[in-house]
Homo-oligomer: A and B are copies of this chain.
Amino acid sequence: MASFPATGVCYYPEHWPQSQWASDAKAMVDAGISWVRIAEFSWAVIEPSPEEFNWQWLDDAVETLGQAGLKLVMCTPTATPPKWLVDQMPDMIAIDADGNPRKFGSRRHYSFAHQGYRKESQRITKLIADRYGNNPYVQAWQTDNEYGCHDTAVSYCASALNGFRRWLGQRYGHIDALNQAWGNVFWSMNYRHFDDIDLPNLTVTEANPAHALDFMRYSSDEIKSFNLEQVEIIRAASPERPISHNYMGMFNQFDHRIVAQDLDIAAWDSYPLGMLQNMQAAARKDAKLEHDCLRTGDPDFQAFHHDLYRGMGRLWVMEQQPGPVNWARHNVIPAPGAVRMWSWEAVAHGAEVVSYFRWRQSPFAQEQMHAGLKLRDDSDAPGLAEIKQFNREIKNLDIPQNTQAPVALIHDYTADWMTMLDGQTEDFHYLRLLLDIYGAARENGATVDVIGPDDNLDGYQLILLPALMHVSDDLAERLEQSSAIILAGPRTGAKTEDFQLPENLAPGPLSSLIGATITRVDAMPRHLPVKMKWNGEDCEVSVWREEARLLSATSDNSENPLMTTSNKARYLLGWADQTTLKSVLKSALEDAGLTPHDLPPYLRVRQRGKMAIFTNYGPLQVDIPESYKGEVLIGDRKIDPAGVAVMTLTD
């Protein structure tokens, strides 16, 4: 039996009497769990007063859990600095965009830019790393917790103002370069010195988007350096243990790739039902999806994030929803089987560990209505049985290593920020567009890697780059040299690095590859779609449509073509409906020499080597298409709602 895939759980010994720890540990092991994450919110328990420490409970907890056979993920507790620390330096508190302090009383009450808090973060990290760095049970680390959660990636505090000015000085060297890059001449916004520059909040109308973009870049860099300070201390004190951070779903407020460069594991916290609600609110997904998938989640959302974070490191799910949560607009019970299905899907996408949040439902404070694997009276929560089944299943199966996919989808945080800052229609939502196109690939059975714009393109047969707002010359060159089919657009190459329009119009450096330039964009309300032509037929396009001047490219002979083609390069001129996108991707996969499958609604599949793992997010039983040949290892070719099937494919 390999050590991965495996399951874990988030545990808070400080919530429970010490007498209960050993039986909890045993019950975890009995359920097939092998990893436990601890201590990420425990600073005030460890250090109840300045320099007055209480390590005993944590020593004991580590020992008890480890002795039971569990491997520990130890955390730095910097997401929740104690009240006494805040009172020592009240200006460590972040300031919101309205200028209000973001006070103590919940969590993440600090500014990444505050140098005093940086020192404290390093002090507590060093204490924990030194104490547990070589502990045999401590097998991995997590820095802090959910960087940026609750809009904490940015702060409009004095520390950030100073930091931003310094950062701009370093980036631009001379204030004239900044004025030119931002186009400050536009509204007499020219600065004479870097210290003239304010943070981009509370301006009369929207700030210069280049100003806002640089503030997001700066804020991202602060998170990177905050994280790196902890990483360097842990690496020194705890060699060979991998270090992780737990990212989130649908979260774009810092550039995760630059943070992930300094880590080993790219973990994330997967809450399918809460995220379905949040996506509905943020991106107005259609009502049918909410109806059909209320208790299973969006069929592509989890998969996309697995692929996204796997592109940044070893993939773990650090927190997996095990039942209803408490923080979404509505918090429903998962469909029977959904917890197991989500777990299988994580493994399908290469997760080493699926760790559930949390062992036992806490009786108090903010998340008391968030399920655990155990009820408050220590009886089993319904999710636990599914986790036990999943543990039995993965233990008995030889799961191949994950391998490179044939299809790459390029995702970029800067692109996301640029669409936010220059949306042209309220209904444009970068992640939704990517999910539509990613989902269209998956509806054809494709296995996809999500990569960054600087990542290696070798080996891919099809490369998708929707709304990659800025395309660097380097990427343009690598795309030209690639033998893959390229499917770009809409909105690809629409901006320079400085957030300006490219001199040669969009798609900028891709113009010769694409063989067309974009002359106008039509930014529409989602509820008023228009017709374009795909394969000679009408298709429906909403939110976004472009008009092109064809250079070397061709399009079908219609007035309003959805796509242009120039050799290996295709460009989508509109955000088409999902049926059309599925057809577009089918055609692209075929052109790339790949074999599409025609999956029924809500059925998804991912291959891990020769193993194909099917998940049914829909409300109806569905059949695995005949085109999949091979042996069914788990489940059946008929898959129930929230069901799973695992096959070994023959070619």
Is there a chain B Cβ closer than 8 Å to A206's Cβ? Answer: yes
- Contacts known (A426-B329, A523-B324); A106 close to B362, Cβ less than 8 A: no
In the complex, which residues of chain B have a beta carbon less than 8 angstroms from the beta carbon of A587? none
Pick the contact of A503: B44, B82, B368, B376 (CB < 8 A): B376
Per-position binary interface string of chain A over residues 585-611, scored 1 when its CB falls under 8 Å from any chain B CB and 0 otherwise: 000000000000000000000000000
Does A102 sit within 8 A of B, measured CB to CB?
Answer: yes
Are B104 and A203 in contact, CB atoms less than 8 angstroms apart? Answer: yes
Give the segment of A112-120, A388-396, A514-522 that binds chain B.
A514-522
**A377→B517 CA distance, assembly (Å):** 10
A472 within 8 A of B: no
Whether B427 contacts A83 by the Cβ 8 Å rule is: no
Least Cβ–Cβ distance between A112 and chain B, in angstroms: 13
With A105-B198, A366-B187 in contact, do A330 and B425 touch (Cβ < 8 Å)? yes
Most buried by B among A324, A366, A499, A528: A366
Q: Chain B residues near A422: list those with CB within 8 A.
A: 326, 368-369
Chain B: CB-nearest residue to A203: B105
Q: Which residues of chain B are near A104, meaning CB under 8 Å? A: 189, 198, 203
CB of A55 closer than 8 Å to a CB of B = no
Contact B188 A330 (CB under 8 A): no
A294-B528, A331-B425, A365-B182 given as contacts; is B209 within 8 A of A100 (CB)?
no
Asked if B150 and A205 make an inter-chain contact with CB atoms under 8 angstroms apart, the answer reads yes
CA distance A24 to B634 in the complex (A): 71
Residues of B contacting A330 in the complex (Cβ-Cβ under 8 angstroms)? 424-427, 523-525
What separation, in Å, do the CA atoms of A381 and B505 have in the docked complex?
12
For A371, give the chain B residue with the smallest CB separation: B520
Interface pair B205/A366, CB less than 8 Å apart:
yes
Contact in complex: B376, A522 (CB < 8 Å)? no
Query: Is A245 an interface position by the 8 A CB rule?
Result: no
Complex Cα spacing A103 to B203, Å: 4
Residue in B94, B105, B210, B367 whose CB lies within 8 Å of A364: B210
**Residue numbers in B under 8 Å from A98 (CB-CB):** 98, 100
**Contact call B363/A503, Cβ cutoff below 8 A:** yes
Residues of chain B within 8 A (CB-CB) of A100 are: 98-99, 202
Closest chain B residue, CB of each to CB of A543: B330
* Interface flag for A361 (CB, 8 Å): yes
Q: Which of A56-106 contact B (CB under 8 A)?
A: 77, 80-84, 87, 94, 98-106
> With A375-B505, A501-B368 given, is the CB distance from A332 to B103 under 8 Å?
no
Cβ–Cβ < 8 Å partners of A206 in chain B: 106, 366
* Cβ-defined contact, B186 with A364, below 8 A: yes
Q: Which residues of B contact A375 (CB under 8 A)?
A: 505, 519
A567: CB under 8 A from chain B? Answer: no
Give CA–CA (A422, B365) in the complex, Å.
Answer: 10
Q: Is A252 an interface residue (CB 8 A)?
A: no
- List residues of chain B with CB within 8 A of the CB of A83: 189-192, 196
User: A401 contacts the other chain (Cβ, under 8 Å)?
Assistant: no
Chain B CB within 10 Å, residue with most, of A105, A109, A205: A105
Q: Which of A152, A498, A521 has the most B CB atoms < 10 Å from its CB?
A: A521
A207 interface contact, C-beta 8 A? yes
Is A19 interfacial (CB-CB < 8 Å)? no
A520 contacts B185, C-beta separation under 8 Å: no
Query: Across the interface, which residues of B come within 8 angstroms of A533, CB to CB?
Result: none
Q: Give the distance in Å from the alpha carbon of A201 to the alpha carbon of B502 in the complex.
A: 45
Smallest CB separation, A467 vs chain B (Å):
14
Q: Which A residues, 172 to 211, have Cβ-Cβ distances below 8 Å to chain B?
A: 182-192, 196, 198, 200-211
Given A150-B204, A207-B106, residue A500 in contact with residue B364 (CB < 8 A) = yes
Task: Say yes or no: is A108 at the interface (Cβ < 8 Å to chain B).
Answer: yes
With known contacts A103-B201, A203-B106, A204-B103, A501–B363 Cβ distance under 8 A? yes
* Residues of the B chain whose Cβ atoms lie less than 8 Å from the Cβ of A363: 183, 500-501, 503
Assess whether A333 is interfacial by the CB under 8 Å rule.
Answer: yes
Q: A204-B109, A207-B106, A376-B501 are in contact. Are A522 and B324 (CB under 8 A)?
A: yes
Q: Are A48 and B504 in contact (CB under 8 A)?
A: no
A186 vs chain B, min Cβ distance (A): 3
Q: How far is the CA of A525 from the CA of B330 in the complex (A)?
A: 6
A49 contacts chain B at the CB level, 8 A cutoff: yes
Looking at the assembled complex, report how far the CB atom of A31 sits from the nearest CB atom of chain B, in whole angstroms.
18
Asked if A242 lies at the interface with its beta carbon under 8 angstroms from chain B, I say no
Is there contact, CB below 8 Å, between B329 and A365? no
Contact for A500 among B152, B291, B368, CB less than 8 A: B368
Q: Which of B49, B94, B326, B377 contacts A204 (CB 8 A)?
A: B94
In the complex, chain B residues whose CB is within 8 Å of the CB of A377:
503-505, 517
User: If the complex has contacts A186-B15, A211-B105, A501-B368, are A523 and B332 also in contact, measured as CB distance less than 8 A?
Assistant: yes
Pairwise interchain contact B369-A106, C-beta atoms closer than 8 A? no
Interface contact B501-A365, CB-CB below 8 Å: no
The A307-324 residues at the B interface (CB cut-off 8 A) are 323-324
- Asked if A108 contacts B528 (CB within 8 A), the reply is no
Say yes or no for A43: interface residue by CB 8 A criterion: yes
Q: Does A405 contact B (CB under 8 A)?
A: no
Determine if A41 is an interface residue (Cβ-Cβ < 8 Å): yes
Docked Cα-Cα span, A203 to B93, in Å, equals 10
Contact partners of A26 in chain B: CB under 8 A: none
- How many angstroms from the CA of A189 to the CA of B375 in the assembled complex? 23
Q: A564 on the interface (CB 8 Å rule)? A: no
Query: In the complex, are the beta carbons of A524 and B426 less than 8 A apart?
Result: no
CB distance from A152 to the nearest CB of B (A): 6
Q: State in angstroms the CA–CA spacing of A329 and B426 once bound together.
A: 6
Residues of B near A502 (CB, < 8 A) are 376
Enumerate the 8 nearest inter-chain pairs by beta-carbon distance, A residue then B residue, closest first: A183-B364, A186-B365, A44-B188, A105-B203, A80-B188, A183-B365, A363-B501, A150-B205
9 contacts between A and B (CB under 8 A): A41-B187, A77-B188, A80-B188, A108-B205, A189-B365, A326-B422, A332-B522, A364-B501, A375-B519
Given A104-B198, A371-B520, 4 further pairs, Cβ under 8 A: A83-B190, A102-B204, A105-B208, A182-B365
